[in-house]
Structure formats: structure tokens, C-alpha cells
């Protein structure tokens, strides 16, 4: 059954060039993200009442799923949510500037944007193995930099993601091979700050 589906991209595979190459985008979206969606749908076949929920809500309620499918939903539901979020948090190079409420909040929490960026880069470079680096809001509306392993979503930990970066090798290996730090540095050129600001303004739910 098809409960969850791949979201449409708002840019073409080569839209994020030269920072993220077209081949990586195509495989990442059509193969990796699609596989998370397929496996999530398979895992949910026996609990159809859960399948009409937005993916974020499904993840918030993952504790009430039958234990034999819970980990599959954490992995593949997390993969679906994380990638849907990731495509939205990127845009054509130079298109979006950090401003408004989020800019002020970042300066308040991290002193200045460069310090924030350095801390985020450190967290992303030093994350061991596959996973994600995040800027999230916690329950006290405080901005925090953190990472998650595998496809674990911040939503499951009660956090609200503002921006997020895929650290799995499939996200960068074709172009950057082992140079994760260079991928991270270049990714800032395609961050969709308009979307980040929207995520921030919606606040913590």
C-alpha cells in the first residue's frame, strides 16, 4: 500500500550545483529517499489507522506503535521525515539570506553567526558514522546544535528542527569522497534561510 509518498522537489537535480552535484541529488532522492518511503509503507501495513497522520505526528507517536514495527518506523519514517525536511532546507545558491527573527535568535544564543557556524561545522565534522547535524529548538524555545545517529529524527526526541544536514556518505561521496568538511562548508551556500526562518517562527509545538 502507498500511504506515504515522495514529496516533489522545488528545484531540479542540478539546481544546487556546484555545491551538491546533480548525480548525487538524483540518486539521493530517487533511490535513497524512495527506499525509506517504500520500507515505511511496508512496515505500516498492519496498522492502517496510523497511516493517515502527517509524518511528524507519526514520529511523535512512535511509542504507541506495536513493538515489532517500532524500530522500522524510527529508521524509515525518520528517513522519510529527515529527507523531506532536507530538500526544503536547501535552495538555489545565493537565493536566501539569513535575516529576521532567526538571525537575531542565533546572535543571541551563539554571540555571532560565525561562532554559530563554527560550532555547527564542528558538530557535523566530528559526528561519528552516519547521521545528521541539526539546529533545533528545545522545549524551552532554546536553539541547540546537536547531531543524531542513523535516521533518528529530532522530532522523536521532542525537538523541533530548524536546519539539518545529512552526514551519510551517500549525501556527498560521489563529489567529495572522504572530504566531509568540504561538503559541510559548501552546503552553507545552498541553505534555504527563508524556510529556516519559517521553521523557527512556527516555534515549538
Q: Compare residues 19 and 168 and give the one whose CB is closer to Mn ion.
A: 168
Contact assessment for residue 181 and residue 83, using Cβ atoms and an 8 Å cutoff? no
**What is the total count of residues that contact Mn ion (CB under 5 A)?**
3
Q: Does residue 29 interact with Mn ion by CB under 5 A?
A: no
* Nearest-angstrom CA–CA distance, 24 and 33: 12
Shortest distance, position 187 Cβ to Mn ion, whole Å:
13
Q: Does residue 168 interact with Mn ion by CB under 5 A?
A: yes
Which segment (36-44, 50-58, 65-73, 159-167) binds Mn ion by CB under 5 A?
159-167
* Nearest-angstrom CA–CA distance, 188 and 90: 9
* Nearest-angstrom CA–CA distance, 75 and 79: 6
Q: Compare residues 1 and 128 and give the one whose CB is closer to Mn ion.
A: 128
Percent helix, strand and coil across the chain, each to the nearest 5: 55, 10, 35
Please, is 185 exposed, middle or buried when counting C-beta atoms within 10 Å of its C-beta (0-12, 13-18, 19+)? middle
Q: Compare residues 50 and 123 and give the one whose CB is closer to Mn ion.
A: 123
Q: Does residue 166 interact with Mn ion by CB under 5 A?
A: yes
Shortest distance, position 82 Cβ to Mn ion, whole Å:
7
Which segment (101-109, 122-130, 162-170, 194-202) binds Mn ion by CB under 5 A?
162-170
Q: Compare residues 78 and 96 and give the one whose CB is closer to Mn ion.
A: 78
Which segment (3-11, 109-117, 150-158, 169-177) binds Mn ion by CB under 5 A?
169-177
SS3 141: coil
Contact assessment for residue 134 and residue 163, using Cβ atoms and an 8 Å cutoff? yes
Residue ranges in contact with Mn ion by CB under 5 A: 166, 168, 171
Amino acid at each position: 500500500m502507498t500511504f506515504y509518498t515522495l514529496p516533489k522537489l522545488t528545484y531540479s537535480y542540478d539546481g544546487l550545483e556546484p555545491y551538491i552535484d546533480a548525480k548525487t541529488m538524483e540518486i539521493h532522492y530517487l533511490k535513497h529517499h524512495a527506499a525509506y518511503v517504500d520500507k515505511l509503507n511496508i512496515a505500516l501495513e498492519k496498522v492502517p489507522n496510523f497511516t493517515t497522520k502527517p509524518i511528524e505526528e507519526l514520529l511523535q507517536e512512535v511509542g504507541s506503535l506495536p513493538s515489532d514495527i517500532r524500530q522500522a518506523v524510527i529508521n524509515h519514517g525518520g528517513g522519510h521525515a529527515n529527507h523531506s525536511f532536507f530538500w526544503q532546507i536547501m535552495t538555489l545558491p545565493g537565493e536566501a539570506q539569513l535575516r529576521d527573527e532567526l538571525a537575531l535568535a542565533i546572535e543571541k544564543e551563539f554571540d555571532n553567526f560565525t561562532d554559530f557556524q563554527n560550532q555547527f561545522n564542528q558538530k557535523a565534522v566530528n559526528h561519528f558514522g552516519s547521521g545528521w547535524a541539526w539546529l533545533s529548538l528545545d522545549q524551552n524555545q532554546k536553539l541547540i546544535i546537536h547531531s543524531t545517529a542513523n535516521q533518528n529524527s529530532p522530532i522523536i526526541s521532542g525537538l523541533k528542527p530548524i536546519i539539518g544536514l545529512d552526514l551519510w556518505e551517500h549525501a556527498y561521496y560521489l563529489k567529495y569522497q572522504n572530504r566531509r568538511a568540504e561538503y559541510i562548508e559548501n552546503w552553507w551556500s545552498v541553505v534555504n534561510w527563508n524556510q529556516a526562518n519559517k521553521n523557527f517562527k512556527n516555534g515549538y509545538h
